[in-house]
Structure formats: C-alpha cells, structure tokens
Amino acid sequence: MNTVKAFFATVGTIEQDLEKINADSIYDIEIKTLSNKPIDLSQFRGKYILLVNVASKCGFTPQYTQLQELHEKYKSQLQVIGVPCNQFGSQEPENAGTIDSFCKINYGVSFLITEKIDVKGKNQHPLYVWLTQRSKNRVKSSSVKWNFQKYLIDKQGHLIDYYFSTTNPLNPKITKHLK
C-alpha cells in the first residue's frame, strides 16, 4: 500500500511540475528570491519587466551599474529582475549571500535578484522555458547565448524582445518602450 501511495504522490509532483513548465502566462511561473522567498510575478502586472541572467565574474558584470540606473529612472513603470546563472564560463560560482553582498556593495543594486537557476539545458528553469520558447511566449524562440542577455516583457505580460549581452541596458532599443 505504501508503494501505491508513493506512486500517486510522485504522479502529483510530476503533474505540478508540468503545470509550472506549461504556464501560459509569465505571471504563473514560480521563482524565488536569493533569500528563498517566493516571488509573485503577477505583482508586476501593469509594469514592464526586464529579466537579465547575471553573473559576478563576467566581462559584462559592470552592466549592473546601468541596470541599477535603469531601475531608478523607470521604477514606476519597470521592474528589473536579475537572475543569477553559473552556466557560462562558471562566472557565477557564489552562493546566495555572497551574490547579494557583491551586488549591493559593488554596484548598489536595489532591484530584485532571484535564486540562482539554469537558463538553458535539461534543468532549464520554467521562467526561461517560457522566455525562450515561442510555443510558450507566443512571440519568438531564442537561446541564451551568454551572461547579461536581456528579455523585455510588456505591461500585459507579453514578450517584447530579447537583447544580447552586448546591448547596454540603457540602449534606446530597450528604453524606447519605457518612454
């Protein structure tokens, strides 16, 4: 009997995981903060969201400065969210506490930083499944090429576009949507 209960418990878990991956809306996706608290993305409905996979030991790390500036300048209409990832050159090897301290001490970051996740591959987080698959975001497919790739979401939760690491966060390609 315990085997049957364990089986059905596992099936329930699998179904819940599939629901997360099959989310139709970015607002349905679950992700946590660096301090392991759930983030309700629906609280940002009515604002633009800029999601950026970040790393502390990357040539693009100084973009934290421009991300913070963007956050401060447009905070009434934009939520910047940094998403730590260690999949590109092992450039984010640190734990949550160290990442948090690094961002605050070196760049004065006050925007939201999530838990460290995978943005590609077999353990790709459901957020990045949604961001990178046209079947989910209904706009376009992409792949995350490197740290500091950016995804801009409109006020209704629709993908606008993505921007490679070389695109500065203050680039008019991004800011034109916020004016």
Active site residues: 58
Report the alpha-carbon distance of residue 7 to residue 178 in Å, rounded.
49
Strands (E) in the chain, as ranges, are: 30-32, 38-40, 48-54, 78-84, 112-113, 150-153, 159-163
Strands (E) in 44-173, as ranges, are: 48-54, 78-84, 112-113, 150-153, 159-163
Q: Which residue has the tokens 């059905």?
A: 8
